[in-house]
Amino acid sequence: MKIVKYIAILCLLICSSGLKAQYTLFSKSGTITYDKTMYMKNIVTKQFIDKADERSRGQFESMLPSIPQQVVLKKVLKFKDGETLFEPVKQELDPQTQQLIMMFALDFDAVTLSNLKTREYKRFNDLVGERVLIQDTVKQIKWRITNEYRDIAGYSCRRANGLTPDSTYVIGYFTAELPVSGGPESISGLPGMILGLVVPSQHVSYFASKVERSAPQVFETKIFEAKKNKIMTRQQMVDQFTSSLSGWLNKETVKYIMKLALL
């Protein structure tokens, strides 16, 4: 009986070891679903009404009562060792909300591909019918890791405060349990996956609602290869669209839109 018992324990240990090895393998690949929350009334008040000239302020103010407090969009981040693909999830929005998002340029259904090893970066934007492909490098964000923790989607996450190259302050919550230095949009560079991202000046946040570990998967990248895409760097996009938008929006509001488009 003792021999049978020892064999059973040995088998259990071997199985547990195998599961642990599989768990470790899969920890570097999977899919994360995020809720992107846009605080609509704050955006319109702080970024449009407060910065508008007399000609357009009244129009924005008249719209404010019908604008929802916030809107939540679903986004997905697929990741495997050294690469991430961030893309929107198709969802039904009421026509008014959809119109507001388009009118205030709050989301472009962008698809972002980042190679964290080679630092190659691609971002596809459909800007009112114009297909723009940004080809650049992964952002170098200056991070300062703190001792603050919070639970996100069942993972213990540590807070870090960051500053992007365009001086946007961001708050990232990362977990070392997913050892890929990625995150939503083009925000990355921490020693673990970013499951929570807050951008105070943009009045937007991203928090993971579900994490699924899986075997490495093939990314769908055809959208980046279309011949109709207009290829440019981040700065070229800023220069072109700042010039186009400056005719009907003030400088600070245009700056806000461009930072949001290139987050």
Distance of CA 138 to the CA centre of its chain: 13
Distance of CA 130 to the CA centre of its chain: 21
What is the dihedral angle through the alpha carbons of 237, 238, 240, 244, rounded to the nearest 10 degrees?
Answer: 130
Report the C-alpha gap between 30 and 259 in whole angstroms: 28
- Name the DSSP class of 222: G
Residue 95 has pLDDT above 80, yes or no: yes
Does any domain span residue 85? yes
Q: Which position has the token pair 């996100």?
A: 152
Residue 250 has pLDDT above 90, yes or no: no
Q: Which position has the token pair 């470790």?
A: 24
pLDDT tens figures, 218-237: 888 888 988 888 999 998 88
Residue 245 has pLDDT above 60, yes or no: yes
Task: Give 9's pLDDT tier (boundaries 50, 70, 90).
Answer: very low
Q: Which position has the token pair 């952002």?
A: 139
Task: Give 212's pLDDT tier (boundaries 50, 70, 90).
Answer: very high
Quote the pLDDT of residue 128: 66
* 3-state percent helix, strand, coil for the chain, nearest multiple of 5: 35, 35, 30
Does any domain span residue 150? no
Does any domain span residue 228? yes
Does any domain span residue 144? no
Greater confidence (96 vs 198) lies with 198
Task: Give 21's pLDDT tier (boundaries 50, 70, 90).
Answer: very low
- The answer to whether 256 and 49 have CB atoms below 8 angstroms apart is no
Quote the pLDDT of residue 103: 79
Quote the pLDDT of residue 12: 39
3-state secondary structure of 154: coil
Domain limits at 65? 29-138+209-261
Is the pTM value of this prediction over 0.75? yes
Greater confidence (97 vs 204) lies with 204
pLDDT tens figures, 126-145: 876 778 899 999 999 999 99
Phi, psi of 22 (to 5 degrees): -65, -40
Quote the pLDDT of residue 155: 97
Does any domain span residue 7? no
Report the C-alpha gap between 167 and 186 in whole angstroms: 14
Quote the pLDDT of residue 98: 85
Give the burial class of 154: count Cβ atoms within 10 A of its Cβ; 0-12 exposed, 13-18 middle, 19 or more buried. Answer: exposed
Q: Which position has the token pair 């490098």?
A: 137
Q: What does the pLDDT average to over 191-212?
A: 96
Greater confidence (248 vs 255) lies with 255
Percent of the residues in the chain that have a pLDDT greater than 90, as a whole number? 47
Tell me the longest C-alpha to C-alpha distance in the chain: 90
Which positions ≥6 away from 124 have C-beta within 8 Å? 110, 111, 112, 131, 132, 133, 134, 223, 224, 229
* pLDDT mean across residues, the chain: 84
- The answer to whether 38 and 106 have CB atoms below 8 angstroms apart is yes
H or E element in which residue 100 lies: helix 95-103
pLDDT tens figures, 46-86: 888 888 777 778 888 888 888 899 999 999 999 997 899 99
Quote the pLDDT of residue 106: 81
Percent of the residues in the chain that have a pLDDT greater than 70, as a whole number? 88
How many Cβ atoms from other residues are within 10 Å of residue 236's Cβ? Answer: 15
Query: How many structural domains is the chain composed of?
Result: 1
